[in-house]
Amino acid sequence: MEKIDPVLYSIEENQFLIEHLGEPPLVALRSLPPTVNPRAVTPVLEEIYSLEQLREHRGEEWAGVDAVKASLKRYVEEALKWQNDKRRGRVRFPSMHIFDTKGRPHRGGPGSDSGRVKSYFDAQGERKEFALELSGEVEDVWKAPTQADAPKSGIKLNDELNRWECFCGWTSSFNPDSRSSQNAARARMSKHLRTATDQVEVHREIHTNEFGGAN
């Protein structure tokens, strides 16, 4: 288990985990409510308990019980909020949509969650993942841009090398003295973003943000 993803569990299961994570699994399972499936929560209790044991006895750091509980609580709060919003006529799962400038939701737009909910919007309107990495060192490791941060870091203009650079390593060079060469390089980048075959979703989202969906 590399990540804990609260979305995979019911609200009751999340609430049970918030209360009992960090306890020895056999102890925690004694207070299992009838609405909670032991097969769903046992692997999580076991994983978290063993991570805690490794930290105590061998000093191996990891994200920590508090961080996991915070992640589960955030999901429960959001999920309950969505249920209320739904009753007031709003979309059931906001992060499965993108919102246009008038605030209208479009299901399945670029960068939105597909298939199932994976993210939520924080107070600043930024898309954030619910899932939490359990390893303690993840913060320092370079990660490929996620759908959430791709728009900001997706492509950049390298003035020294006179080329456009995509996050995936693809580049498009131009002659700095020629306007048409610069335009052509930008057009090639646009085409690359539309036709890249790896990390397709991320490329598409960058394309939408940079080129507004036009060719």
Which residues lie near Zn ion (CB under 5 A)?
166, 168, 170, 196
| CA angle 75–80–83, rounded 5-degree value | 125
**At its nearest, how many Å lie between Zn ion and the CB of residue 166?**
3
**At its nearest, how many Å lie between Zn ion and the CB of residue 211?**
13
**At its nearest, how many Å lie between Zn ion and the CB of residue 196?**
5
CB nearer to Zn ion: give 18 or 196. 196
CB nearer to Zn ion: give 1 or 200. 200
CB nearer to Zn ion: give 41 or 166. 166
DSSP assignment of 112-152: S--SS--EEE-TTS-EEES-EE-BTTGGGS-----TTTHHH
C-alpha pair distances (Å), 195 with each of 23, 173, 190, 200: 49, 18, 9, 8
DSSP assignment of 61-85: -BS-HHHHHHHHHHHHHHHHHHHHH
Residue 98 pairs in a beta bridge with 106
CB nearer to Zn ion: give 5 or 201. 201
